[in-house]
A and B are shown apart, each in its own frame.
Chain A
Protein backbone atom coordinates (compact mmCIF):
# COMPACT_ATOMS: atom_id res chain seq x y z
CA UNK A 1 0.00 0.00 0.00
CA UNK A 2 1.24 3.46 -0.78
CA UNK A 3 1.05 6.07 1.92
CA UNK A 4 -1.89 8.28 0.95
CA UNK A 5 0.15 11.39 1.78
CA UNK A 6 2.97 10.34 -0.54
CA UNK A 7 0.42 9.53 -3.15
CA UNK A 8 -1.09 12.97 -2.79
CA UNK A 9 2.31 14.66 -2.93
CA UNK A 10 2.89 12.93 -6.23
CA UNK A 11 -0.53 13.95 -7.42
CA UNK A 12 0.08 17.52 -6.27
CA UNK A 13 3.44 17.62 -8.06
CA UNK A 14 1.69 16.47 -11.18
CA UNK A 15 -0.94 19.13 -10.75
CA UNK A 16 1.72 21.80 -10.32
CA UNK A 17 3.55 20.50 -13.32
CA UNK A 18 0.48 20.88 -15.49
CA UNK A 19 0.26 24.48 -14.42
CA UNK A 20 3.94 25.27 -14.60
CA UNK A 21 4.64 28.86 -15.59
CA UNK A 22 5.45 29.21 -19.27
CA UNK A 23 7.47 32.37 -19.95
CA UNK A 24 5.52 35.00 -21.86
CA UNK A 25 8.02 37.28 -23.55
CA UNK A 26 7.49 41.02 -23.95
CA UNK A 27 6.42 42.57 -27.24
CA UNK A 28 9.19 44.44 -29.09
CA UNK A 29 9.75 47.89 -27.62
CA UNK A 30 7.88 47.01 -24.43
CA UNK A 31 10.71 48.14 -22.20
CA UNK A 32 10.93 51.53 -23.87
CA UNK A 33 7.19 52.09 -23.53
CA UNK A 34 7.20 51.03 -19.90
CA UNK A 35 10.26 53.10 -19.05
CA UNK A 36 8.66 56.12 -20.71
CA UNK A 37 5.44 55.94 -18.76
CA UNK A 38 7.37 55.20 -15.56
CA UNK A 39 9.35 58.37 -16.15
CA UNK A 40 6.17 60.36 -16.71
CA UNK A 41 4.72 59.14 -13.44
CA UNK A 42 7.92 59.86 -11.60
CA UNK A 43 7.90 63.37 -13.02
CA UNK A 44 4.33 63.95 -11.98
CA UNK A 45 5.06 62.72 -8.48
CA UNK A 46 8.24 64.74 -8.08
CA UNK A 47 6.54 67.84 -9.45
CA UNK A 48 3.68 67.40 -7.02
CA UNK A 49 6.09 67.03 -4.12
CA UNK A 50 8.14 69.99 -5.31
CA UNK A 51 5.01 72.09 -5.47
CA UNK A 52 4.06 71.06 -1.96
CA UNK A 53 7.54 71.95 -0.74
CA UNK A 54 7.40 75.29 -2.55
CA UNK A 55 4.12 76.09 -0.87
CA UNK A 56 5.47 75.09 2.53
CA UNK A 57 8.61 77.11 2.01
CA UNK A 58 7.01 80.29 0.81
CA UNK A 59 4.65 80.07 3.74
CA UNK A 60 6.92 79.26 6.63
CA UNK A 61 10.58 79.59 5.77
CA UNK A 62 10.58 81.57 2.57
CA UNK A 63 13.33 83.94 3.61
CA UNK A 64 15.74 81.29 4.83
CA UNK A 65 15.12 79.33 1.69
CA UNK A 66 15.92 82.18 -0.64
CA UNK A 67 19.14 82.94 1.20
CA UNK A 68 20.21 79.33 1.13
CA UNK A 69 19.63 78.70 -2.54
CA UNK A 70 20.49 82.06 -4.00
CA UNK A 71 18.99 83.30 -7.24
CA UNK A 72 17.38 81.05 -9.75
CA UNK A 73 14.06 79.26 -9.72
CA UNK A 74 14.89 76.08 -7.86
CA UNK A 75 11.28 75.25 -7.24
CA UNK A 76 9.22 77.34 -9.64
CA UNK A 77 5.76 78.37 -8.49
CA UNK A 78 4.53 77.12 -11.86
CA UNK A 79 5.43 73.59 -10.84
CA UNK A 80 1.99 73.18 -9.41
CA UNK A 81 0.43 73.62 -12.84
CA UNK A 82 1.19 70.18 -14.22
CA UNK A 83 0.69 67.45 -11.62
CA UNK A 84 -2.84 66.57 -12.57
CA UNK A 85 -2.31 66.49 -16.30
CA UNK A 86 -0.91 63.01 -16.72
CA UNK A 87 -2.40 61.47 -13.64
CA UNK A 88 -1.86 57.72 -13.20
CA UNK A 89 -3.96 55.56 -15.46
CA UNK A 90 -7.04 53.72 -14.39
CA UNK A 91 -4.83 50.70 -13.81
CA UNK A 92 -3.56 52.28 -10.63
CA UNK A 93 -5.04 50.18 -7.88
CA UNK A 94 -6.14 51.78 -4.65
CA UNK A 95 -3.57 50.06 -2.45
CA UNK A 96 -1.05 52.75 -1.55
CA UNK A 97 0.00 50.96 1.60
CA UNK A 98 2.02 48.43 -0.36
CA UNK A 99 4.02 50.95 -2.36
CA UNK A 100 7.49 51.74 -1.07
CA UNK A 101 8.01 55.27 0.15
CA UNK A 102 9.26 57.90 -2.26
CA UNK A 103 12.79 58.32 -1.07
CA UNK A 104 13.62 61.37 1.01
CA UNK A 105 11.14 63.62 -0.66
CA UNK A 106 8.43 64.11 1.88
CA UNK A 107 7.64 67.77 2.39
CA UNK A 108 8.34 67.55 6.10
CA UNK A 109 11.97 66.54 5.62
CA UNK A 110 12.66 68.75 2.63
CA UNK A 111 11.10 71.88 4.01
CA UNK A 112 14.22 73.24 5.64
CA UNK A 113 16.81 75.36 3.96
CA UNK A 114 19.62 72.97 4.83
CA UNK A 115 18.01 70.00 3.13
CA UNK A 116 17.18 71.95 -0.01
CA UNK A 117 20.73 73.15 -0.23
CA UNK A 118 22.52 69.95 0.66
CA UNK A 119 20.79 67.63 -1.78
CA UNK A 120 22.03 69.56 -4.81
CA UNK A 121 24.76 67.82 -6.81
CA UNK A 122 27.93 69.89 -6.65
CA UNK A 123 30.37 70.18 -9.52
CA UNK A 124 32.92 68.06 -7.69
CA UNK A 125 30.45 65.23 -7.28
CA UNK A 126 29.71 64.99 -10.97
CA UNK A 127 31.52 63.55 -13.91
CA UNK A 128 30.33 65.36 -16.99
CA UNK A 129 30.91 63.90 -20.43
CA UNK A 130 29.64 64.66 -23.91
CA UNK A 131 28.35 62.25 -26.50
CA UNK A 132 26.40 62.34 -29.72
CA UNK A 133 22.66 62.08 -29.38
CA UNK A 134 21.61 58.41 -29.84
CA UNK A 135 18.83 59.59 -32.11
CA UNK A 136 21.22 61.51 -34.35
CA UNK A 137 20.24 64.95 -35.55
CA UNK A 138 17.18 66.31 -37.25
CA UNK A 139 17.56 67.99 -40.62
CA UNK A 140 19.79 71.03 -40.24
CA UNK A 141 20.44 70.42 -36.54
CA UNK A 142 23.15 68.78 -34.49
CA UNK A 143 22.36 67.33 -31.07
CA UNK A 144 24.98 66.80 -28.39
CA UNK A 145 24.33 65.17 -25.05
CA UNK A 146 25.89 66.30 -21.82
CA UNK A 147 25.84 63.35 -19.46
CA UNK A 148 25.99 63.97 -15.72
CA UNK A 149 27.07 61.05 -13.61
CA UNK A 150 26.96 61.17 -9.83
CA UNK A 151 30.42 59.94 -8.81
CA UNK A 152 29.91 60.74 -5.14
CA UNK A 153 28.70 58.22 -2.60
CA UNK A 154 25.49 60.04 -1.73
CA UNK A 155 22.26 60.61 -3.60
CA UNK A 156 22.03 64.17 -4.89
CA UNK A 157 19.66 66.15 -7.06
CA UNK A 158 19.90 68.19 -10.23
CA UNK A 159 17.26 70.71 -11.13
CA UNK A 160 17.12 72.91 -14.17
CA UNK A 161 19.60 73.89 -16.84
CA UNK A 162 23.35 73.58 -16.91
CA UNK A 163 25.27 76.70 -17.98
CA UNK A 164 26.98 75.84 -21.26
CA UNK A 165 29.49 77.66 -23.48
CA UNK A 166 31.62 76.61 -26.41
CA UNK A 167 35.33 76.84 -25.66
CA UNK A 168 38.59 76.38 -27.54
CA UNK A 169 40.22 74.30 -24.80
CA UNK A 170 40.27 73.34 -21.09
CA UNK A 171 41.28 76.84 -20.07
CA UNK A 172 40.57 78.27 -23.45
CA UNK A 173 38.55 81.11 -24.75
CA UNK A 174 34.83 81.10 -24.94
CA UNK A 175 33.47 80.99 -28.46
CA UNK A 176 30.25 82.89 -29.19
CA UNK A 177 27.66 83.67 -26.51
CA UNK A 178 26.65 81.10 -23.92
CA UNK A 179 24.20 78.50 -25.16
CA UNK A 180 20.63 79.62 -24.51
CA UNK A 181 18.07 77.79 -22.41
CA UNK A 182 15.40 75.85 -24.21
CA UNK A 183 12.41 77.41 -22.49
CA UNK A 184 9.61 75.29 -23.86
CA UNK A 185 10.46 72.38 -21.58
CA UNK A 186 9.56 72.40 -17.89
CA UNK A 187 12.49 71.36 -15.71
CA UNK A 188 11.96 68.56 -13.24
CA UNK A 189 13.98 67.64 -10.21
CA UNK A 190 16.25 64.70 -10.99
CA UNK A 191 17.46 62.48 -8.19
CA UNK A 192 20.80 60.84 -8.84
CA UNK A 193 21.79 57.83 -6.79
CA UNK A 194 25.52 57.11 -6.68
CA UNK A 195 26.56 56.27 -10.25
CA UNK A 196 23.18 57.47 -11.47
CA UNK A 197 23.12 59.41 -14.72
CA UNK A 198 21.12 62.22 -16.22
CA UNK A 199 21.55 64.26 -19.34
CA UNK A 200 20.83 67.54 -21.04
CA UNK A 201 20.60 68.04 -24.78
CA UNK A 202 22.50 70.79 -26.58
CA UNK A 203 21.06 71.59 -29.96
CA UNK A 204 22.78 73.72 -32.53
CA UNK A 205 22.02 74.45 -36.15
CA UNK A 206 24.48 73.11 -38.70
CA UNK A 207 27.09 75.90 -38.66
CA UNK A 208 27.37 75.62 -42.43
CA UNK A 209 23.77 76.69 -42.75
CA UNK A 210 24.58 80.02 -41.05
CA UNK A 211 27.41 81.03 -43.34
CA UNK A 212 28.60 83.52 -44.32
CA UNK A 213 27.71 85.22 -40.98
CA UNK A 214 28.68 82.24 -38.81
CA UNK A 215 32.49 82.16 -39.20
CA UNK A 216 32.60 78.52 -38.10
CA UNK A 217 35.58 77.51 -35.99
CA UNK A 218 36.75 74.29 -34.45
CA UNK A 219 35.92 74.14 -30.72
CA UNK A 220 37.43 71.71 -28.23
CA UNK A 221 34.39 71.23 -26.07
CA UNK A 222 32.02 72.83 -23.60
CA UNK A 223 32.42 74.71 -20.39
CA UNK A 224 29.63 73.40 -18.20
CA UNK A 225 28.23 74.74 -14.95
CA UNK A 226 25.92 72.22 -13.27
CA UNK A 227 22.66 73.92 -12.19
CA UNK A 228 23.16 76.55 -9.48
CA UNK A 229 26.88 75.77 -9.20
CA UNK A 230 29.61 78.37 -9.51
CA UNK A 231 32.40 75.96 -10.46
CA UNK A 232 32.57 74.81 -14.06
CA UNK A 233 34.12 71.79 -15.74
CA UNK A 234 35.60 71.47 -19.19
CA UNK A 235 33.94 68.75 -21.23
CA UNK A 236 35.96 67.68 -24.27
CA UNK A 237 33.85 67.45 -27.41
CA UNK A 238 35.46 68.48 -30.68
CA UNK A 239 32.99 70.05 -33.04
CA UNK A 240 32.32 73.15 -35.08
CA UNK A 241 30.54 76.21 -33.79
CA UNK A 242 29.87 79.68 -35.07
CA UNK A 243 32.27 82.27 -33.71
CA UNK A 244 30.19 85.30 -34.66
CA UNK A 245 28.42 86.55 -31.56
CA UNK A 246 24.77 85.68 -31.42
CA UNK A 247 24.77 83.49 -34.52
CA UNK A 248 23.59 79.92 -33.92
CA UNK A 249 24.50 79.93 -30.24
CA UNK A 250 22.44 76.79 -29.72
CA UNK A 251 20.02 75.80 -26.99
CA UNK A 252 20.29 73.56 -23.98
CA UNK A 253 17.44 71.54 -22.45
CA UNK A 254 16.79 71.07 -18.74
CA UNK A 255 18.52 68.06 -17.25
CA UNK A 256 16.44 64.89 -17.39
CA UNK A 257 16.99 61.57 -15.68
CA UNK A 258 18.65 58.62 -17.35
CA UNK A 259 19.97 58.14 -20.84
CA UNK A 260 16.77 57.69 -22.76
CA UNK A 261 15.66 60.31 -25.21
Chain B
Protein backbone atom coordinates (compact mmCIF):
# COMPACT_ATOMS: atom_id res chain seq x y z
CA UNK B 1 0.00 0.00 0.00
CA UNK B 2 1.35 3.39 -1.00
CA UNK B 3 0.78 5.20 2.28
CA UNK B 4 2.41 2.38 4.24
CA UNK B 5 5.40 2.37 1.92
CA UNK B 6 5.92 6.07 2.55
CA UNK B 7 5.51 5.77 6.29
CA UNK B 8 7.94 2.86 6.43
CA UNK B 9 10.42 4.73 4.31
CA UNK B 10 10.17 7.69 6.64
CA UNK B 11 10.62 5.53 9.73
CA UNK B 12 13.64 3.81 8.20
CA UNK B 13 15.42 6.90 6.94
CA UNK B 14 14.53 9.98 8.93
CA UNK B 15 16.88 9.59 11.90
CA UNK B 16 19.84 8.84 9.69
CA UNK B 17 19.21 11.75 7.36
CA UNK B 18 18.62 14.15 10.24
CA UNK B 19 21.79 12.88 11.96
CA UNK B 20 23.77 13.33 8.78
CA UNK B 21 22.45 16.86 8.38
CA UNK B 22 23.14 17.55 12.05
CA UNK B 23 26.85 17.00 11.41
CA UNK B 24 26.79 19.95 9.05
CA UNK B 25 24.66 22.49 10.90
CA UNK B 26 24.72 24.28 14.23
CA UNK B 27 21.84 22.71 16.10
CA UNK B 28 19.25 19.95 16.21
CA UNK B 29 16.48 22.30 15.23
CA UNK B 30 18.08 23.27 11.95
CA UNK B 31 18.83 19.61 11.25
CA UNK B 32 15.17 18.70 11.83
CA UNK B 33 14.03 21.62 9.65
CA UNK B 34 16.17 20.50 6.76
CA UNK B 35 15.34 16.81 7.12
CA UNK B 36 11.62 17.59 7.36
CA UNK B 37 11.77 19.80 4.30
CA UNK B 38 13.59 17.10 2.33
CA UNK B 39 10.93 14.56 3.28
CA UNK B 40 8.14 16.98 2.47
CA UNK B 41 9.47 17.45 -1.04
CA UNK B 42 10.00 13.75 -1.45
CA UNK B 43 6.48 12.86 -0.31
CA UNK B 44 4.87 15.58 -2.38
CA UNK B 45 6.47 14.10 -5.49
CA UNK B 46 6.57 10.47 -4.52
CA UNK B 47 6.82 8.31 -7.61
CA UNK B 48 8.10 4.87 -8.40
CA UNK B 49 10.16 6.22 -11.25
CA UNK B 50 13.17 7.22 -9.20
CA UNK B 51 15.08 6.12 -6.13
CA UNK B 52 13.53 7.84 -3.08
CA UNK B 53 16.67 7.41 -1.01
CA UNK B 54 18.89 9.16 -3.53
CA UNK B 55 16.25 11.83 -4.13
CA UNK B 56 16.01 12.51 -0.41
CA UNK B 57 19.73 13.17 -0.14
CA UNK B 58 19.75 15.15 -3.34
CA UNK B 59 17.19 17.53 -1.86
CA UNK B 60 19.06 17.63 1.44
CA UNK B 61 22.30 18.48 -0.37
CA UNK B 62 20.57 21.42 -2.06
CA UNK B 63 19.04 22.64 1.18
CA UNK B 64 22.35 22.31 2.98
CA UNK B 65 24.13 24.19 0.24
CA UNK B 66 21.64 27.05 0.59
CA UNK B 67 21.97 26.91 4.35
CA UNK B 68 25.73 26.83 4.08
CA UNK B 69 25.87 29.84 1.81
CA UNK B 70 23.58 31.73 4.12
CA UNK B 71 25.61 30.92 7.19
CA UNK B 72 28.88 31.74 5.46
CA UNK B 73 27.45 35.17 4.72
CA UNK B 74 26.33 35.48 8.31
CA UNK B 75 29.67 34.41 9.65
CA UNK B 76 31.39 37.05 7.63
CA UNK B 77 29.30 39.55 9.52
CA UNK B 78 29.48 37.93 12.94
CA UNK B 79 32.81 37.04 14.37
CA UNK B 80 34.00 33.72 13.03
CA UNK B 81 35.18 32.62 16.44
CA UNK B 82 31.83 33.19 18.10
CA UNK B 83 30.02 31.18 15.49
CA UNK B 84 32.45 28.29 15.68
CA UNK B 85 32.52 28.01 19.43
CA UNK B 86 29.04 26.52 19.75
CA UNK B 87 29.99 22.93 19.08
CA UNK B 88 33.49 22.88 20.47
CA UNK B 89 33.79 21.25 23.87
CA UNK B 90 35.91 22.73 26.63
CA UNK B 91 39.63 22.56 26.19
CA UNK B 92 41.67 23.16 23.12
CA UNK B 93 40.18 21.19 20.25
CA UNK B 94 42.39 19.14 17.98
CA UNK B 95 42.62 20.55 14.49
CA UNK B 96 40.09 18.95 12.22
CA UNK B 97 37.82 18.21 15.13
CA UNK B 98 35.36 20.89 14.24
CA UNK B 99 33.92 19.09 11.28
CA UNK B 100 32.22 22.14 9.88
CA UNK B 101 35.31 24.28 10.07
CA UNK B 102 37.22 21.54 8.25
CA UNK B 103 34.49 21.12 5.65
CA UNK B 104 34.54 24.82 5.05
CA UNK B 105 38.07 24.46 3.74
CA UNK B 106 36.80 22.28 0.90
CA UNK B 107 35.27 23.41 -2.37
CA UNK B 108 31.58 22.64 -2.55
CA UNK B 109 31.77 19.60 -4.82
CA UNK B 110 34.47 17.96 -2.76
CA UNK B 111 32.62 18.63 0.44
CA UNK B 112 29.39 17.14 -0.89
CA UNK B 113 31.13 14.07 -2.28
CA UNK B 114 32.98 13.51 0.99
CA UNK B 115 29.85 13.82 3.09
CA UNK B 116 27.79 11.53 0.88
CA UNK B 117 30.45 8.90 0.45
CA UNK B 118 32.21 8.73 3.79
CA UNK B 119 29.53 9.91 6.20
CA UNK B 120 26.26 8.86 4.54
CA UNK B 121 27.77 5.67 3.09
CA UNK B 122 26.78 6.06 -0.56
CA UNK B 123 28.92 4.30 -3.14
CA UNK B 124 30.80 6.37 -5.69
CA UNK B 125 28.22 5.41 -8.28
CA UNK B 126 25.37 6.52 -6.03
CA UNK B 127 27.12 9.79 -5.23
CA UNK B 128 27.57 10.34 -8.93
CA UNK B 129 23.82 9.90 -9.48
CA UNK B 130 22.92 12.19 -6.59
CA UNK B 131 25.19 15.07 -7.53
CA UNK B 132 24.82 14.57 -11.26
CA UNK B 133 28.55 14.36 -11.97
CA UNK B 134 30.46 11.54 -13.66
CA UNK B 135 31.91 8.80 -11.45
CA UNK B 136 35.46 9.71 -12.40
CA UNK B 137 34.85 13.29 -11.32
CA UNK B 138 33.40 12.13 -8.02
CA UNK B 139 36.45 9.93 -7.44
CA UNK B 140 38.69 12.89 -8.12
CA UNK B 141 36.60 15.08 -5.78
CA UNK B 142 36.99 12.47 -3.06
CA UNK B 143 40.70 12.20 -3.64
CA UNK B 144 41.22 15.93 -3.38
CA UNK B 145 38.95 16.21 -0.37
CA UNK B 146 40.92 13.52 1.40
CA UNK B 147 44.20 15.20 0.51
CA UNK B 148 42.96 18.50 1.92
CA UNK B 149 41.89 16.81 5.15
CA UNK B 150 45.22 15.07 5.33
CA UNK B 151 46.98 18.41 5.17
CA UNK B 152 44.70 19.69 7.88
CA UNK B 153 45.22 16.67 10.16
CA UNK B 154 48.96 16.61 9.54
CA UNK B 155 49.11 20.18 10.75
CA UNK B 156 48.22 18.90 14.22
CA UNK B 157 50.94 16.30 14.49
CA UNK B 158 54.23 17.76 15.55
**Chain A interface (Cβ within 8 Å of chain B)?**
8, 11-12, 15-16, 18-27, 30-31, 33-35, 37-39, 41-42, 45, 89, 91, 93, 95, 98-100, 102-103, 193, 195-197, 258-260
Contacts and interface: CB of A to CB of B under 8 A. Distances in A.
Contacts of A23: 15-16, 18-19
Given A21-B23, A26-B14, 15 more contacts: A12-B149, A19-B99, A21-B20, A25-B14, A34-B36, A38-B42, A39-B43, A41-B41, A42-B45, A91-B33, A91-B63, A99-B41, A100-B45, A197-B3, A259-B3
17 contacts: A8-B154, A21-B22, A21-B120, A26-B15, A26-B36, A38-B46, A39-B43, A41-B44, A42-B44, A42-B45, A89-B37, A91-B63, A93-B62, A93-B66, A98-B59, A100-B45, A258-B3
Given A19-B99, A24-B32, A93 B63 contact: yes
Contacts of B15: 23-26
Nearest to B47: A103
Contacts of A95: 62
B6 interface: yes
A197 B20 CA distance: 33
Q: How large is the interface on B (under 10, 10 to 19, 20 to 34, 35 or more residues)?
A: 35 or more
Interface stretch (B48-56, B73-81, B104-112, B133-141): B48-56
- Name the prevailing secondary structure of the B interface residues: helix
Contacts of B33: 91
Nearest to A198: B2
- Name the prevailing secondary structure of the A interface residues: loop
Given A21-B120, A23-B15, A100-B50, A41 B40 contact: yes
Contact of A193 (B48, B58, B59): B48
Contacts of B44: 37-39, 41-42, 45
Find the residue from B21, B28, B62, B97 having the highest chain A CB count within 10 A.
B62
Contacts, number: 122
Contacts of A102: 45
B143 interface: no
Interface string B95-134: 0110100000000000000000011100000000000100
A192 B15 CA distance: 29
Contacts of A25: 14-15, 18
B119 A197 contact: no
A26 B18 contact: yes
Nearest to B156: A11
